[in-house]
Amino acid sequence: MKTIRCGMLLLGLCVLLPAGVRSDEPGKAAWAEPMRKVHARFKGAPGTFAHFGDSITVTMAFWAPLAQPPQKMNDATAKDYELVKKYMKPECWNKWKGPAYGNNGGMTIRWAHDNLDKWLKKHNPESALIMFGTNDLTQFGVKEYEQKMREVVRRCLDNGTVVILSTIPPFHGRLEDSRTFAETARKIAAEEKVPLLDYFGEVLKRRPDDWDGALPKFKEVKGGTYEVPTLISRDGVHPSYPSKYRDFSEESLSKNGYALRSYLTLRAYAGVVRQVFESAKE
């Protein structure tokens, strides 16, 4: 690969609840208390946020653009951005990129399983976004994926690192395979009581019939692979990144796959900061 469910909306905050898990009190995510217990074991630097993944993660089209405030944020998103900007270490916007930081093109959960302890020892992140599966579904079955992903999640939690687990985006010609991998991530998130970022579900919710930039309807659209105005690029695998739609308006969030992923990550991470890290100071 080349480099290149948002859950319930409560009190203006996108709270990501693991599938099948409910909150015990209004405004509080079901994962909040378990993650506070995880965070109580953390001994590293606050504000460190790692991203473990493949080419969809290592690319500078993801997360790095948010080092500058996105345009056309609604009020709730702007508050989340202000919170994250103040809390997260600045280097985690765009410098925590590459194999040494747990993200690289073409990788699978096997790579993370083999190298995680090294990343945790060197960087000791307070939180980690994890998304593997796009390469995995073409190389091995979901059983191994589930086993190794669960072990990766648990090893992060044992370290005191709060995990945000993400589903993969839909894959051209292999929608049901990608759905199965997404359902597996949801299952792990629910059972391990970690926040879920349902990228797969959000893509299909926003573009249920034409998320795939490889469809014939986009053939005549001018521009390169990532310029197609839907959520998955012309290669049918990577998110899109059209230059015309790089803000956080609702239109752009339905036409720019990397902007959508950055937006969902921002809302998810802000929820963790607010409900886990800041609450620990109270």
Per residue in 183-234, pLDDT (tens digit) is 999 999 999 999 999 999 999 999 999 999 999 999 999 999 999 999 999 9
**DSSP character for 19?**
T
- Global confidence as pTM: 0.90
Longest dimension (CA), the chain: 56
Separation between Cα atoms, residue 79 and residue 139, nearest integer Å: 41
Band (pLDDT 50/70/90 cuts) for residue 28 is confident
Burial of 129 (0-12, 13-18, 19+ CB in 10 A): buried
The answer to whether 131 touches 168, Cβ cutoff 8 Å, is: yes
Task: Quick: pLDDT tens for 37-61.
Answer: 999 999 999 999 999 999 999 999 9
Provide the phi-psi class of 120: left if phi over 0, else alpha when psi is between -120 and 50, else beta.
Answer: alpha
Cα separation, 216 vs 69, whole angstroms: 35
Kindly tell me the sign of the dihedral angle through the C-alpha atoms of 187, 253, 265, 139: positive
Domains, the chain, ordered by start? 8-221+261-281 (3.40.50.1110)
